[in-house]
Structure 1
Amino acid sequence: MYSKISKNILKNSISILTVIFFITAIFFYIAFISDNKLRVDFSLEQMFPTRDVDRDDYDQFKEVYGREDNVMFITLTNGNIFSDINLSILELLTYNFSEIDHIDYAFSLGSLWDDGDGIIGEELTSNERFKKIKANNIYSNLLSKDNKSSLIVIGIKENIYSHQTRKKILYQIDEIIDSYKFNLESIKSGDVIFTNKNVLSEYSVGNYSALQSIIDDIYQYNKQTNSFGSDLSIRSINDCYNIVNENSSVDIQLTLEDINKNCDNPILISRDLKKSKIILSTNILIDRMFIKNLENIIEENEFVRYSSWEWHEAGLPILRTRYVELVEYERSIFIPLAFLIAALTLIWIFRQIRMLIIALTSIMVSLVWVSGIMSLANISINVISYLTFNLLMIIGVSDAIHLLMKYHEEINKNKNKKETLEIVIEKIGSALFLTSFTTAVGFMSLSITNIRILQEFGVIMGVGIGILFIITIMIMPIMLYYIKIPKAEHIDRLILKRKKSLSFQSLKAVQGYPRVIIICSIFIISLSIYGLTLIDSNVTVLGDLKPTNKLYKDITFVENNFGGTLPLEIIVSPTGIPLSKDLYIKSNTINSIDDSKFYEKINLFMLKLAEFKSIKSVSGYWDIDGDINPQQSKYTNKDRNEIRISCGIENIDSDTADLLKSNIKLIYNDIFENETGLKITGSTLLALKMNRYLIKSLLNSFIIAFIVIFISMNILFRSVKLSLVSIIPNVIPLLFAGGIMGFFGIELRPATAMTFSIALGIAVDDTIHFLSRFRSEFLLTKNHEKSTTTTILTTGRAIIGTSITLGMGFLVLLFSNFKPNYEFGILATIILMIALVSSLILLPALINIIKPLNKSYE
């Protein structure tokens, strides 16, 4: 079959290139220019299962009570939370946050300041404000346990699911926080320069502004000490503000037009409105001591000290958005890096720019085709599929290396270029087809999962690998046909058998120590199996983040100081508690939730919930002290036949979550004496279940892939004995990687589980290329030792080159700050390197000892 294909490819080379060019142009237009171009969608909601009972319960909860995963927590730490100025700043910040598009509400201690007229207003001292807040069960949640930090609670509107919208909200929050920084830049003689994002904002200019506060502090200090002279005067842009507002009943915010029209001191601000200046005039000498005192006063001002406030953020919207931003950042780094490594590896192996151009042309055309198909199939670049282009690039380089190595080997035997290329297509075509097939099976097995985007990833990778094979087997031979034959020095360097080469050293090991190799392999298998028993499959919501990651630190800080930020929702209906006669007579709108018996049971239930170590906060229709919650409407449905209890839990793992659910059910059964009136739900539990479900699905897909690959190899080589022998070199790398996970505490999470399916498909390539060449040699020699020797010294070189390429491609992920990428890189590299050793050392040693083929084999 491949003989006819090879002749037709070269015979119709111009036509084939023309067709490929036009298809590529069409796919390029579809993927990158058209209205239906390739989309980027990194929303995490896509990861939830499409068919699941708990998912249905959660969706039902959202229909009744709205979303519980739309609350953000911003915390601030400063030296004096309850000072007038700090509360004023906090009020302004909170108001600005509430004005952002798609924000439902924002609430903080600043909301209780209320321009000094609130419940912690100007008439109270800082200490009195603190005591008043601590005495209130609701407002005390806005203070940290050590009383050094304060909380801003921000709710996003119900209908916001888009990552881009959430990203925009967080960007605006960051911009607002940054805009309040009023920093001292320099003091030169009596000129003091400050920086701010907008020196004409109401925060920077006006009677209650940062600028006026600093001026007041300077005058106050001088009144007490006379350090700046008895004739001190200070000029600032506030003078212009006072002129403009002199006859106005409302505050008029300054503009450049007002300044140019009414004032003669435009030099007090910069043209870009980023700098503001105050000028001190005095009757004494402005010396070093003068400037030092002035600097100390300014740096102690609370508007200036705002820049040193410590900020942290938490909440599911922030976790999801920052998580996706991290994925996007990693994608922008590692795709170009993978391309660079592919190029450098090809140059290192072949030392010929022409070979680099041919290989990369084939790969880039394939990637354009895949992009076009993704656009047509409406498959977005998401939190999983963003790996598609990295992986295809690495696999494409592997295919290219095998084809180019075979070309150099055959051109060394036969100087007729056309005949050589026909032989290359014929011989390498079957091996590349099977390796592409097995790799595609590894990915396509992901399509049996219940996660849509994982299914799409498996399918598009399978299709992409098929496209890579077709394009490689067509474009590369045609381009080689139209360029000059490589120089002899390049052919000799690749073909000559040097004793120092890795392939030659592998041969020495196989011939000299076959039994030692097998004994070592048995020891590694035994140790790895023990390591597998140590693997921990417990995952947490924050498990994908390294402890050094800022987001991880932020959420941990908020958890430790304010309580849990991850939501757990409990729905209780008064099943088995009949409505009392008195309540029934009073009103037909009163339900069983108003019955005193139910109230007593709920109050006890909530007290028991608060005793759990992992539950940091509890709120509901009644608060934990039994008082009616001011926001009671949020905690019951329209029919008022059930109530909701909202808990904030810490970052627990999946086993702890299961135990927590079981214990809550036991307490409920004990108090309410029934099992039907309780539902436990929430996005946190759903996410933890999704991780565990995903791991199970991935492991199932791995088993299916393994079986399909074994059957395929049995069909190809028509020898059960040889197929069984070939399994061992492919099992050892997977067992070894599993052992490494167990010994080094790498958790079994979706990313690591997916590694086994993917790496199996890629690693088995080494075995297939080795056995394909071995079979060809055995048909000629009918001798196992001679066949393995030739295979190691020829195909072994290509296997070494491709393994190094693939390993380097995955190894770059070790620099990732994203734990799934980092662990994927470690495990994939280990699997590939062990697969290389197994294919070049263990496999030929087993073949030489077992001798799986007899002389009648055809």
Structure 2
Amino acid sequence: MRQKSLIARLQRILTLERSIGFGLEYLGLATLRFPRIMALCVLAFTLLCAFQLPKANVDGNLLRVYANSGHYFDAYQRLADTFGTFENDIYVLVHSDQLTDPTVLEQVRNLAFDLELNDFADGTMSPFTLRKPDGTGGSMPAVPEGMTDKAHVANALADLQQNDPMMRNLITPDLTGVVLIMFPNSELSKDGGTKEMLASLRALAAQYQSANLQIELTGPPIWTSEMLDAAVNDQIKFTIYGFTIGSLIAFFALRSFFGAILVATTPLIAVIWSIGSVIMMFGSFSFLTIIVTTLVVVMAFAESMFFIFNWLANWRDGMDPYDAVDATLRLVGPATALTTLTTLVAFTSLYFSPGRGVEEFSIAGAVGSAIMFICMMTVLPVLLRTALRLGFKLPRSPNFALNAPIPVAWKLARKYGRPLTVLSAITVILLFIPFFLIEPRFALEDFMAKNSTAMQTAEEIDTGVGGVAPIYVRVPLQENDPDIGPGDFEMIRTVHQILEHELGVNKVISAASMSNYTQSGFSRAQVLDAVGPFMRRRFVTDDGSQALVTGFMPTILKSGKLADLVDRLETKIRAAGIPNAEVGGFRVMTTFATDDIVRSLQISLAISVLINILLIGLAFQSLRIALVSILPNLFPILGTEAYLWFSGSGLQLTTVIALTIAFGIAVNDTIHFLAHYVHSRRDHQHNHEEAVKNTLFRIGGAIVATTVILCTGTVIVAFSELPQVALFGTLFVLSLALALIGDLFMLPAILMSGRKFFNPLGRLRVRLGDRAHRQAIPSEKT
């Protein structure tokens, strides 16, 4: 008997005695029961997080985003650890129509030497630091000093540009431009050192800038610096804009200044908590986690608006305002808990995709969602009761503009429910076509700040010398000779020729490219010694076990072309009998890692959609509820992917993240709608049609208001200086706008077209609010 009673007890807990929020709303009930204790806890955590705000910073290292993303990241790390790379070098583009003038040339030489003496420099490469064998076992400057004739200067530079393998990519064919490369000291330039390094280099360039010399800086550290500046500026703008617009919409909707303050206070505390939590967890923001702050702001505004809309509606229905806080918490709290769970599922699904950046974004987003819910359950109830004690008065009815679409939606659902349902189903099915056709895409320029002067300079270098973006082939050697034995040399030359065939003549450097010196009678040891120990290690390791072949591509290169290039190189190198050679580089790593991450994120999105639909069905204990939520919530995701396909944007890293998170948030309105519909059916005994109409008119305005807040609070992201962030904002807004269509027009039409099918929903046993206070909520009006 005891066993049977225990089973019966568990069954009741899983059915009648469990709310749709799985009991999470009891945090809010605890707040009402122990308001002072909760207030102290809120104050303590707010102060803890506030103390973290001065530490807030953005880590601009893109490797952090791609860390642990798979084979190509590991290959890049091995490459960097073994040889170092050109990926963090500073390029100084010097342009002058008078470059062959001996006086101007000496100015450039002095600039190159000052660059070499810079405190942050580990080494430099330029026509002036390059030396060549002198035939006596020593070396001499590649560009002789003390030249006084323009013709001599022109001949010296032309000889280097045409014959020296390293200078072909650093001197323009018309002899009007030269590229100086600085190799930064990794220890001095890390963290805040990069900012100091760039400041010193800009000051140095300014000293030499003149009518005869135009000097521009570019390279990954400068690109990253510009990205960081854009990210920080964006975050400041997004936060200020989000709060301003959210408050204005709340004021417009509620027609109450103090009501708008009540709506805005919870998001303010939520964003302080989220920033502090990210800093405590990760030490800094990344280009992905910085988006979380904006998401927390708009999500908190939306849920706060939902809560206050219901609170004021209960108050207007004649309920005591203090009781209305309690009743709203018990009715809306479970739905808010369920919406938080769906958002958590969306964020959590990202965790299993490769890449540290996505993993951190997943954790930060999940924590942000939990923070938003905790704020709703702890801060808002105490805030509303405090406002009442301070004399807050009931505002006028909500602005009519918010309810303008509601009569139209109801009329369409009542008269054309079945045709609209069929049309919705056909539309969703057709939208699966672009879903299966869309392909991943990566472009480096999408990560760079718009109107980046450094990127423009890089394009000038591409035009002048044909590109300086490196692609590497790591070649394992067999003879272990630091001066490279004859067999290993032939292997290096084979790889060199394969890479040169793909990139073009004079676009590859390696130990095999020194043939003009070795053919003149110099040994390989002499040639390698002449380039200096720093550059020597860019060709062969000190123990002679590995060699590096480096090719130079244009900085701006589409991911599809780069992927095809890598495939051809790997195929040709294997066919040449060098199976262990490894193609790599930052561009290679980001292209292939992005492809892997995006495809994994697509799977995560599909899993998130499936789990959330099942979660809704489990929460309501109804397969019918799960089925009715499918079309309205697939429509915004598939519609947005169709936009990406038609626009040619393809699937990028932030686009799939945007779709996943937008789906998790878009489901929220569906949950609130269905919760009110079932509540109206079961607890107020409304028939099916009355329940749909009552729900639509009761919370339709809140759905419109929350969507407007989410869209307008996020639309500023679409104007970000960072293209990836801007695209995130555009897709997020588009997804939510389509979700509004799904919830206002598709969902009611589906419900109205299936009267008999949905009739059992009135007998659902799961609680929509707390039973003890169900009677305190007055009957809703149709």
Structure 1 length-normalised TM: 0.77
Is 1:323 the counterpart of 2:227 in the alignment?
yes
Write out per-residue CA displacement over residues 324-350 of structure 1, whole angstroms, 9 at most, x where no aligned residue: 333233223322222222222222222
Determine if contact 1:312/1:555 at 8 Å carries over to the other structure.
Answer: no
Q: Give aligned-pair identity as a percent.
A: 18
Determine if contact 2:473/2:550 at 8 Å carries over to the other structure.
Answer: yes
Is 1:823 the counterpart of 2:727 in the alignment?
yes
- AA matched with 1:168: E
Output the CA distance in 1 between the equivalents of 2:646 and 2:611.
Answer: 30
The equivalences for 1:104-143 within 5 A come to 104-109=122-127, 119-136=143-160, 137-138=163-164, 139-143=167-171
Which structure has more RCO (C-alpha within 8 Å, separation ≥ 6)?
A: 2
Determine if contact 1:547/1:553 at 8 Å carries over to the other structure.
Answer: no
| Aligned partner of 2:180 among 141, 149, 152 | 152
Output the CA distance in 2 between the equivalents of 1:6 and 1:693.
Answer: 42
**Equivalent residue number for residue 776 of structure 2:** none
Q: 1:761 to 1:68 in 2, by over 3 A?
A: same
Determine if contact 2:226/2:452 at 8 Å carries over to the other structure.
Answer: no
Output the CA distance in 2 between the equivalents of 1:524 and 1:624.
Answer: 63
Is 1:20 the counterpart of 2:42 in the alignment?
yes
Deviation at 1:670, TM superposition (A): 4.2
3-state SS of paired residue (2:94): strand
The equivalences for 1:43-82 within 5 A come to 43-50=61-68, 52-82=70-100
**Equivalent residue number for residue 854 of structure 1:** 759
Output the CA distance in 1 between the equivalents of 2:595 and 2:142.
Answer: 49
- AA matched with 2:715: L
Deviation at 1:736, TM superposition (A): 0.4
**Equivalent residue number for residue 524 of structure 1:** 427
Deviation at 1:638, TM superposition (A): 2.6
3-state SS of paired residue (1:370): helix
| Aligned partner of 1:718 among 595, 598, 621 | 621
**Equivalent residue number for residue 348 of structure 2:** 444
Is 1:657 the counterpart of 2:679 in the alignment?
no
Write out per-residue CA displacement over residues 94-135 of structure 1, whole angstroms, 9 at most, x where no aligned residue: 23322322212234456689xxx9835444422331222222
Determine if contact 2:189/2:197 at 8 Å carries over to the other structure.
Answer: no
Is 1:706 the counterpart of 2:609 in the alignment?
yes
**Equivalent residue number for residue 9 of structure 1:** 31
Aligned-residue Cα RMSD (Å) equals 2.9
Q: 1:691 to 1:454 in 2, by over 3 A?
A: same
**Equivalent residue number for residue 837 of structure 1:** 741
Determine if contact 2:158/2:175 at 8 Å carries over to the other structure.
Answer: no
Output the CA distance in 2 between the equivalents of 1:129 and 1:677.
Answer: 44
- AA matched with 1:133: L
Deviation at 1:142, TM superposition (A): 2.7
Output the CA distance in 2 between the equivalents of 1:854 and 1:821.
Answer: 45
Output the CA distance in 2 between the equivalents of 1:752 and 1:401.
Answer: 27
| Aligned partner of 2:675 among 761, 765, 772 | 772
Write out per-residue CA displacement over residues 672-699 of structure 1, whole angstroms, 9 at most, x where no aligned residue: xx24342222222222222122212322
- AA matched with 1:342: G
- AA matched with 1:565: V
3-state SS of paired residue (2:444): coil
Write out per-residue CA displacement over residues 65-110 of structure 1, whole angstroms, 9 at most, x where no aligned residue: 2334232212122221122332232223223322322212234456
The equivalences for 1:142-291 within 5 A come to 142-159=170-187, 162-181=190-209
Deviation at 1:721, TM superposition (A): 1.9
**Equivalent residue number for residue 611 of structure 1:** 501
The 10-residue stretch of structure 1 (379-388 or 38-47) with the greater mean CA deviation from structure 2: 38-47
- AA matched with 1:461: G
Deviation at 1:793, TM superposition (A): 0.8
The equivalences for 1:662-673 within 5 A come to 662-671=567-576
Determine if contact 1:67/1:158 at 8 Å carries over to the other structure.
Answer: no
Output the CA distance in 2 between the equivalents of 1:5 and 1:751.
Answer: 34
Deviation at 1:144, TM superposition (A): 1.6
Determine if contact 1:616/1:647 at 8 Å carries over to the other structure.
Answer: no
Output the CA distance in 1 between the equivalents of 2:461 and 2:154.
Answer: 20
Output the CA distance in 1 between the equivalents of 2:742 and 2:660.
Answer: 18
**Equivalent residue number for residue 485 of structure 2:** 594
The 10-residue stretch of structure 1 (97-106 or 318-327) with the greater mean CA deviation from structure 2: 318-327
Is there any run of 5+ residues in structure 1 with no aligned partner, and where? 182-302, 580-588
Is 1:334 the counterpart of 2:224 in the alignment?
no
Deviation at 1:660, TM superposition (A): 2.0
Deviation at 1:624, TM superposition (A): 6.2
Q: 1:146 to 1:760 in 2, by over 3 A?
A: farther
Output the CA distance in 1 between the equivalents of 2:340 and 2:332.
Answer: 12
Output the CA distance in 1 between the equivalents of 2:387 and 2:495.
Answer: 81
The equivalences for 1:376-455 within 5 A come to 376-455=280-359
Output the CA distance in 2 between the equivalents of 1:106 and 1:725.
Answer: 65
3-state SS of paired residue (1:74): strand
Deviation at 1:767, TM superposition (A): 0.6
The equivalences for 1:282-681 within 5 A come to 303=210, 305-306=211-212, 309-484=213-388, 487=393, 490-493=395-398, 501-522=404-425, 524-545=427-448, 548-573=451-476, 593-595=484-486, 598-600=488-490, 602-613=492-503, 617-623=507-513, 625=515, 627=518, 628=524, 629=527, 630-631=530-531, 632-650=536-554, 651-671=556-576, 674-681=577-584
3-state SS of paired residue (1:42): coil
Q: 1:358 to 1:625 in 2, by over 3 A?
A: same
Determine if contact 1:27/1:368 at 8 Å carries over to the other structure.
Answer: yes
Output the CA distance in 1 between the equivalents of 2:673 and 2:346.
Answer: 19
Write out per-residue CA displacement over residues 759-790 of structure 1, whole angstroms, 9 at most, x where no aligned residue: 01111111111111111112234522211111
Determine if contact 1:563/1:616 at 8 Å carries over to the other structure.
Answer: no
- AA matched with 2:763: Y
Q: 1:377 to 1:665 in 2, by over 3 A?
A: closer
Determine if contact 1:443/1:459 at 8 Å carries over to the other structure.
Answer: yes
Deviation at 1:604, TM superposition (A): 4.7
Q: 1:509 to 1:163 in 2, by over 3 A?
A: farther
Output the CA distance in 1 between the equivalents of 2:449 and 2:430.
Answer: 28
Output the CA distance in 2 between the equivalents of 1:461 and 1:614.
Answer: 46
Q: 1:528 to 1:554 in 2, by over 3 A?
A: farther
Output the CA distance in 1 between the equivalents of 2:157 and 2:605.
Answer: 56
Determine if contact 1:133/1:140 at 8 Å carries over to the other structure.
Answer: no
Output the CA distance in 1 between the equivalents of 2:710 and 2:401.
Answer: 24
**Equivalent residue number for residue 686 of structure 1:** 589
| Aligned partner of 1:752 among 633, 639, 655 | 655
Output the CA distance in 2 between the equivalents of 1:616 and 1:438.
Answer: 56
**Equivalent residue number for residue 736 of structure 1:** 639
**Equivalent residue number for residue 211 of structure 1:** none
- AA matched with 2:62: L
Determine if contact 2:471/2:552 at 8 Å carries over to the other structure.
Answer: yes
Determine if contact 1:564/1:615 at 8 Å carries over to the other structure.
Answer: no
- AA matched with 2:512: W
Number of residue-to-residue matches in the alignment: 709
Write out per-residue CA displacement over residues 139-192 of structure 1, whole angstroms, 9 at most, x where no aligned residue: 4433224433221111112445624322322222122222345xxxxxxxxxxx
- AA matched with 2:607: I
Determine if contact 1:536/1:746 at 8 Å carries over to the other structure.
Answer: no
Deviation at 1:48, TM superposition (A): 2.5
